[in-house]
Structure 1
């Protein structure tokens, strides 16, 4: 714990955790310092890690209950023996994609917002990343997106909810067994309030999920589209963004409740393999942390 330090990477969000090896079992005080930094900075970077699949699962599971890797356009791509780890990759071996999402650009989104209870946190580890340019992942702080929203827009969204389309994934691929969306009013997907309260910090966030096929329930479609466009124009302003340039051995940890993220397209001829986990806090853990964290972060 004595050598651990946190270096802010931008005024908006993002911090680097220095002098820690995630291959080692972290003592409680070190883990609590990391967790506090995560809630305060929304996204954390751990550089120069050499993690096995078991290391990634062990670290991620300290934050909460890990989910099994969700299905994607190529089926269920997980690390053998570790069903909690989703493989995100453009690599094709023997004609078969080893992971999901390929190398194309992925637009702004919150992971799995189309489900009733999306994961609270995500880890993404650079298992194999091309040098010197491993690609870029960009984030928006949705706490600040809500806090800087005009009074007019705050009034317009009060009490409204968005239906989050479940038919396509973040990269725009149609999910296995899903039909193309013809009418956003009737498309499948979970419904979430536009303004939500973070379950741990107690802070309000603008919760948009993703733009494609979104629908604000109860509004005429054209009015829904116009209001969604205004909200997305606001939250993707440069002053709310931070980006991470991938290097080999990077681990990213971000709060999936209060962020949206996107990635640039990268060279399809390069090899990039990322390991991803998602977690949700166990109820006792959530109850224990909520009060103290809300006080510290506000």
Structure 2
């Protein structure tokens, strides 16, 4: 296999990998180079990869054991033959959605942090895309933490927050959940506000998603104000990379040190993405509680 080329896409994060055909077997040297590029850039883009679902699964498994998708509002896998694949789409067949998240905005989030061991990574493969809209953004949570004022770093060291399980990133209530009116009572895992990345050892801000989040031990108003400040900082444009999709793009991202969001797009357009995720481990705090 020829030597891969890695081209930076934005100052904060993101790189394009060329000189590789993901239909073909990948040798250990190339896989090691891919992993090094991924650790450096957090988000990797592979263009022109018209993969079948089995090929997408085969490449995904090179990065670790697969994690099944989280429960969708419809209670069953979208692809019966490939239950490890989640479908992200606005398309309906016979009035029934073939995938998740529709055509509206998907707000800033980190995937499935409402569980104790969130996914390590995710891959998203573009099968059909609208002519405009539906762009995806990622934000670098290493940089977000490192650029916080020292007083804020000290303030949040050791603090933990509830990561609500009630709604997905498009605001749809998950199957079996009930409306939450008090974030202090929201269901979901409790994670540190700053985690230690298990591979790099670096500290990263870890916010999950804003809706129904609550910082344990604080008065609700204090928690709300703190989270608003952290979210405003974490989503600053200079920390982000914008992906304008082309058909057969494949994006790989680290779910432990990035956030991502999606723009809305024309409801009359078709957008179909197939997504896999890699199993993770429980997150560890970068700092112990005082």
For the criterion TM > 0.5, the same-fold answer is yes
Task: Verify the 8 A CA contact 1:87 1:274 in the aligned structure 2.
Answer: yes
In the alignment, the residues of structure 1 paired with residue 114 and residue 68 of structure 2 have an alpha-carbon distance, to the nearest angstrom, of 17
> Where do 1:170-209 residues align within 5 Å?
170-209=169-208
Match of 2:88 in 1: 88
Is residue 274 of structure 2 the alignment partner of residue 275 of structure 1?
A: yes
In the alignment, the residues of structure 1 paired with residue 280 and residue 229 of structure 2 have an alpha-carbon distance, to the nearest angstrom, of 33
Match of 2:220 in 1: 221
> Where do 1:116-135 residues align within 5 Å?
116-130=116-130, 132-133=131-132, 135=134
Deviation of 1:281 (Å): 5.8
Is residue 222 of structure 2 the alignment partner of residue 243 of structure 1?
A: no
Matched residue SS, 1:146: helix
Matched residue SS, 1:17: strand
Matched residue SS, 2:189: strand
Match of 2:59 in 1: 59
Q: How many residues align?
A: 282
In the alignment, the residues of structure 1 paired with residue 222 and residue 70 of structure 2 have an alpha-carbon distance, to the nearest angstrom, of 33
- What is the TM-score normalised by the length of structure 2? 0.94
Match of 2:98 in 1: 98
> Where do 1:113-152 residues align within 5 Å?
113-130=113-130, 132-133=131-132, 135-152=134-151
Match of 1:296 in 2: none
Match of 1:161 in 2: 160
- What is the TM-score normalised by the length of structure 1? 0.92
* Structure 2 unaligned spans of 5+: 282-290
Match of 1:259 in 2: 258
Deviation of 1:155 (Å): 1.4
Task: Verify the 8 A CA contact 1:77 1:99 in the aligned structure 2.
Answer: no
Matched residue SS, 1:16: strand
* Structure 1 unaligned spans of 5+: 283-298
Task: Verify the 8 A CA contact 1:69 1:76 in the aligned structure 2.
Answer: no
In the alignment, the residues of structure 1 paired with residue 70 and residue 177 of structure 2 have an alpha-carbon distance, to the nearest angstrom, of 15
Task: Verify the 8 A CA contact 2:118 2:280 in the aligned structure 1.
Answer: no
In the alignment, the residues of structure 2 paired with residue 264 and residue 32 of structure 1 have an alpha-carbon distance, to the nearest angstrom, of 33
RMSD: 1.4
Q: Structure 1 segments of 4 or more deviating over 4 A?
A: none
In the alignment, the residues of structure 2 paired with residue 212 and residue 221 of structure 1 have an alpha-carbon distance, to the nearest angstrom, of 13
In the alignment, the residues of structure 1 paired with residue 230 and residue 193 of structure 2 have an alpha-carbon distance, to the nearest angstrom, of 10
Task: Verify the 8 A CA contact 2:85 2:275 in the aligned structure 1.
Answer: yes
Deviation of 1:191 (Å): 0.2
